[in-house]
Amino acid sequence: MRKFIPTPSSSTLELGFFTFHFYALAILLGIFVAVWVTKRRYKALGGNPDDITDLALVVVPAGIIGGRIYHVLTSPQKYFGENGSPIQALQIWRGGLGIWGAISIGALAAFIFFKVKRNSLSFYQMADAIAPGLLIAQGIGRFGNWFNAELFGKPTTLFWALEIPRESRPSGFENFATFHPTFLYEAIWCFFVAAIIMKLKFFKNFVKAGTVFIFYVLAYSLGRFFIEAIRIDEANLIFGIRLNIWVSGLLFFGALAVLIRRISGNTLKS
């Protein structure tokens, strides 16, 4: 009996003349679920769910572009280094969307959208509504990395280890067959934090608009910090530490400071 998670034998689905990449399908499914969840939460806050439909037409492409730009800028060797292929920078279906690029550019697009167009709720209420949907979308999207046999962690022989084909193993790890399934770790963490946000009434009854989104940044960054530490794919290093570890740490402490300030400020007023 197998004691590991196998990597799918194919990353694409062939239907006649059409080829569908599972990575792209995972991203699209995540977007669909995120929009659905956000519309329900936005309506529960008293907003018109059609606002979210209009918003998605702006934020989704902005987020994808931002995520790709972040990935390319933080992993330039793959595209512009020796033996790199610049054209692959445009081939999103091969994998490679940096979540912080997607969130930052997507949030900027949403902010501008709410400034230009009158909506039933505020930008900060929308941010709170979208937070768990984003987490669920990120978790679903990580399964696209599974199909692409990418972004796994250090070698391990744990029973939930991920088997990686020899041709997909990084240089220096050719003799190891199984690795930490970091895609699964991150997916589970995202779903867990989303469940906390949706189940706990603390956020709705105690803090002001925008705080749920700050908690999302804090919680996701915390999980990403530890998951990033066991990944072995190529990454830019600052003082020997992966760039995304620095980003996650800075965002965690920044979000923590803002969260404490908001909660303490709210307590003093009550």
Please check whether residue 231 is in contact with residue 151, taking contact to mean a CB–CB distance below 8 angstroms.
yes
Quote the mean pLDDT of the chain: 88
Share of the chain above pLDDT 70, in %: 91
* Residue 235 pLDDT grade (very low, low, confident, very high; cuts 50, 70, 90): confident
Output the six-digit token pair for 145. Answer: 């990395």
Residue 93's pLDDT is what?
66
Residue 81's pLDDT is what?
67
Which residue has tokens 């920078």? 89
Share of the chain above pLDDT 90, in %: 63
Residue 107 has pLDDT above 60, yes or no: yes
C-alpha span between 46 and 120 (Å, rounded): 8
Residue 58's pLDDT is what?
94
C-alpha span between 228 and 178 (Å, rounded): 18
Residue 178's pLDDT is what?
96
* Residue 26 pLDDT grade (very low, low, confident, very high; cuts 50, 70, 90): very high
Q: Once rounded to an integer, what is the mean pLDDT over residues 99-111?
A: 92
C-alpha span between 7 and 255 (Å, rounded): 36
Tell me the per-residue pLDDT of 50-96, one tens digit each, with 9 for 90 and over: 999 999 999 999 998 988 888 887 777 777 767 667 777 777 766 67
- Entry pTM: 0.89
* Residue 268 pLDDT grade (very low, low, confident, very high; cuts 50, 70, 90): very low
Number of helices (H) and strands (E) in the chain: give both, helices first.
Answer: 9, 6
Residue 1 has pLDDT above 60, yes or no: no
